[in-house]
Structure 1
Amino acid sequence: MKDGGRLSAAIEVLTEVETRHRPVQPALRDWGTSHRFAGSGDRTVIGNLVFDALRHKSSLTARTGSSEPRMQILGTYVFAWGNGIDRLKEVLGEDPHSPEALNEAEESALANESVDDLEPEVAADVPAWLWPYFEAAFGDNAVNEGKALATRAPIDLRTNSLKSDREKLLKRLAHVNAEATSITPTALRIKAKPGASRMPHVQAEEGYRKGWFELQDEASQIAAALACAKPGEQVLDLCAGGGGKTLALAATMDNKGQIYAYDSDRLRLAPIHERLQRSSVRNVQVRDPASSNLDPLKEAMDLVFIDAPCTGTGVWRRRPDSKWKLSEKALADRLEEQRKVLDTAKEFVKLGGRIAYVTCSILPQENGDQVKRFLAENSDFEAVDAIAIWKHVFGEDRLPAYVTEEGGVTLTPATTETDGFFFALLGRKTD
Structure 2
Amino acid sequence: MGQAWPFYVVVDAFQRIRTLTPAARCSAAIEVLTDIAERRRPAADALKDWGLAHRFAGSGDRAGIASLVYDALRRRSSAAWIMGSDTPRAILIGALRLQQGLAAASVASLFSGDRFAPEPLSDVERVRLETGTLEDAPPEVAGDAPAFALPELAAALGDDLVPELKALARRAPLDIRVNALRGSREDVMPALAAFEAAPAPHAPQGLRIPIGADGRGPALHVEAEFLDGWYEIQDEGSQLAALLAAPRPGETIVDLCAGGGGKTLALAAETRNGARLIATDGDPRRLAPIHERLRRSGAVAEVRTPRTGKARADVLEDLDGRVDRVVVDAPCTGSGTWRRNPDAKWRLRPGSLALRTAEQAQVLDRAARLVKPGGRIVYITCSLLPSENDAAVAGLISQWRGRFDVVPAEDVLAAGPASLRDAVRITAHGVQMSPLRTGTDGFYVAVIARRG
- Which TM-score band applies after superposition, normalised by the shorter structure? over 0.9
Give the secondary-structure state (helix, strand or coil) at the position aligned to 2:112. helix
Percent sequence identity is 45
**Structure 1 residues 306-325: aligned runs within 5 Å:** 306-325=328-347
Partner of 1:245: 263
| Alignment partners' CA distance in 2, 1:401 and 1:257 | 28
TM-score, normalised with respect to structure 2: 0.91
Amino acid at match of 1:344: R
Give the Å deviation of 1:387: 2.5
Q: Which runs of 5+ in 2 are unaligned?
A: 1-19, 308-312
Give the Å deviation of 1:197: 5.1
Partner of 2:218: 200
Q: Is the 8 A contact 1:361 1:421 kept in 2?
A: yes
Amino acid at match of 1:385: P
Give the Å deviation of 1:155: 1.2
Give the Å deviation of 1:95: 3.5
Partner of 2:322: 300
Amino acid at match of 2:440: T
Q: Is the 8 A contact 1:413 1:420 kept in 2?
A: yes
| Alignment partners' CA distance in 2, 1:115 and 1:193 | 27
Give the Å deviation of 1:76: 1.7
User: Higher mean Cα deviation, 288-297 or 413-422?
Assistant: 288-297
Q: Which runs of 5+ in 1 are unaligned?
A: none
Partner of 1:405: 428
| Alignment partners' CA distance in 1, 2:252 and 2:273 | 12
Give the Å deviation of 1:333: 0.9
Give the Å deviation of 1:71: 1.0
Partner of 1:75: 94
Partner of 1:384: 407
Q: Is the 8 A contact 2:110 2:118 kept in 1?
A: no
Give the secondary-structure state (helix, strand or coil) at the position aligned to 2:124. helix
Q: Is the 8 A contact 1:5 1:95 kept in 2?
A: no
Displaced runs of 4 or more, over 4 A: none
Amino acid at match of 2:284: R
- 2:229 aligned to which of 208, 211, 215: 211
Partner of 1:285: 302
CA 1:335–1:198: 2 relative to 1, 3 Å: closer
TM-score, normalised with respect to structure 1: 0.96
Partner of 1:12: 31
- 2:127 aligned to which of 108, 117, 131: 108
**Structure 1 residues 11-410: aligned runs within 5 Å:** 11-93=30-112, 95-194=114-213, 196=214, 198-282=216-300, 284-290=301-307, 293-378=315-400, 379-395=402-418, 398-406=421-429, 408-410=430-432
User: Higher mean Cα deviation, 288-297 or 267-276?
Assistant: 288-297
Give the Å deviation of 1:79: 3.0
Give the Å deviation of 1:3: 1.4
Give the secondary-structure state (helix, strand or coil) at the position aligned to 1:93. coil
| Alignment partners' CA distance in 1, 2:423 and 2:399 | 27
1:279-319 alpha-carbon deviations (Å, 9 max, x no partner)? 0112x110011166211101110000001111110000111
1:134-175 alpha-carbon deviations (Å, 9 max, x no partner)? 111111110011111111111111111001210122211111
| Alignment partners' CA distance in 2, 1:57 and 1:25 | 17
1:317-354 alpha-carbon deviations (Å, 9 max, x no partner)? 11100101101111111111111111111111111110
Aligned length: 427
Amino acid at match of 1:417: G
CA 1:273–1:181: 2 relative to 1, 3 Å: same
Q: CA RMSD in A?
A: 1.5
Q: Is the 8 A contact 2:257 2:282 kept in 1?
A: yes
Q: Is the 8 A contact 2:380 2:446 kept in 1?
A: yes
Give the Å deviation of 1:90: 2.2
Amino acid at match of 2:188: L
Amino acid at match of 1:262: T
Q: Is the 8 A contact 2:337 2:442 kept in 1?
A: yes
Amino acid at match of 1:185: P
| Alignment partners' CA distance in 1, 2:184 and 2:287 | 27
Give the Å deviation of 1:391: 3.2
Give the Å deviation of 1:269: 0.8
| Alignment partners' CA distance in 2, 1:326 and 1:254 | 39
Give the Å deviation of 1:380: 1.3
CA 1:30–1:66: 2 relative to 1, 3 Å: same
Give the Å deviation of 1:373: 2.1
Q: Is the 8 A contact 2:329 2:381 kept in 1?
A: yes
User: Higher mean Cα deviation, 363-372 or 90-99?
Assistant: 90-99
